[in-house]
Amino acid sequence: MLQPITYNPPLHLKLDILYQDNDLIALNKPSGLLSVPGRGDDKQDCMLSRLQLEHPQALVIHRLDMSTSGLLLFALNKEMQKYMSILFEKKRIHKQYIAKVHGIPKESSGIIDQPLITDWINRPKQKIDYRTGKHSKTKYTLISSDKENNSIVKLEPVTGRSHQLRVHMSSLGHAILGDKLYGTQQTQNASNRLLLHAEKINFIHPLTDKQTHINCTVDFL
């Protein structure tokens, strides 16, 4: 098992609210902050606990890795939590991420279809395993590249496995910059944070039946 990373969450100034109605709220989670409480008293500060200071009834819908920034949804009642969980389960929610990666993909777009499973010896790392891994699929699109041999890519997860985007991009030889788990020494040192951001989410609102689009500006572009 890997040595646990010291938890030093960013200072809480105010909630960055992207969308809110009577049943649902979307927040911009900063990199370095847990989505939900972790194990131990030192890991209770998280996006959920900060939201519950203002909305004690708030409930979890989905999560982002601690190192990932961006759009995170919470329900404001149990009914909405149930409805949104069903949408996620039926893959009726479209999520889009932006990442800055090492190198320039040979193909301008593609699909990564690599089964993933927990690497128990090195947990929390995940690994590709064609024998026992769970079906995992990611769409990627090259947006731009620079003189430093880095690229900006759009990532669209078809499945929602733990660390999926990070493992999949690393498997192509294009590790996300700042990734301390799946990058090389060079890519780890290229940024003091993981350059992965949950940018957009689209779904049909369970209570209004309206197409709902929520955006979250990327802060490292």
Query: Which residues participate in catalysis according to the annotation?
Result: 65
6 — pLDDT class (breaks 50, 70, 90) = confident
**What is the mean pLDDT of the segment spanning 104-132?**
96
**What is the mean pLDDT of the segment spanning 54-75?**
98
pLDDT cut 90: percent of the chain above it = 96
For the chain, the average pLDDT equals 96
In tens, the pLDDT along 12-60 reads: 999 999 999 999 999 999 999 999 999 999 999 999 999 999 999 999 9
pLDDT score recorded for residue 73: 98
Q: Is the pLDDT of residue 10 over 90?
A: yes
Residue given tokens 């780890």 in the structure block: 188
pLDDT score recorded for residue 1: 59
In tens, the pLDDT along 187-206 reads: 999 999 999 999 999 999 99
Q: Is the pLDDT of residue 5 over 80?
A: no
HEC sequence for the chain: CCCCCCCCCCCCCCCCEEEECCCEEEEEECCCCECCCCCCHHHCCEHHHHHHCCCCCCEECCCCCCCCEEEEEEECCHHHHHHHHHHHHCCCCEEEEEEEEECCCCCCEEEEECCEEECHHHCCCEEECCCCCECCEEEEEEEEECCCCEEEEEEEECCCCCCHHHHHHHHCCCCECCCCCCCCHHHHCCCCCCCEEEEEEEEECCCCCCEEEEECCCCCC
CATH number for region 97-196: 3.30.2350.10
pLDDT score recorded for residue 149: 96
pLDDT score recorded for residue 45: 98
Domain boundaries, the chain: 97-196
CA torsion sign for 61, 119, 114, 5 is: positive
**What is the mean pLDDT of the segment spanning 195-220?**
97
pLDDT score recorded for residue 79: 98
Q: Is the pLDDT of residue 168 over 90?
A: yes
Q: Is the pLDDT of residue 3 over 80?
A: no
Q: Is the pLDDT of residue 2 over 80?
A: no
**What is the mean pLDDT of the segment spanning 128-140?**
97
CA torsion sign for 85, 86, 87, 89 is: positive
pLDDT cut 70: percent of the chain above it = 98
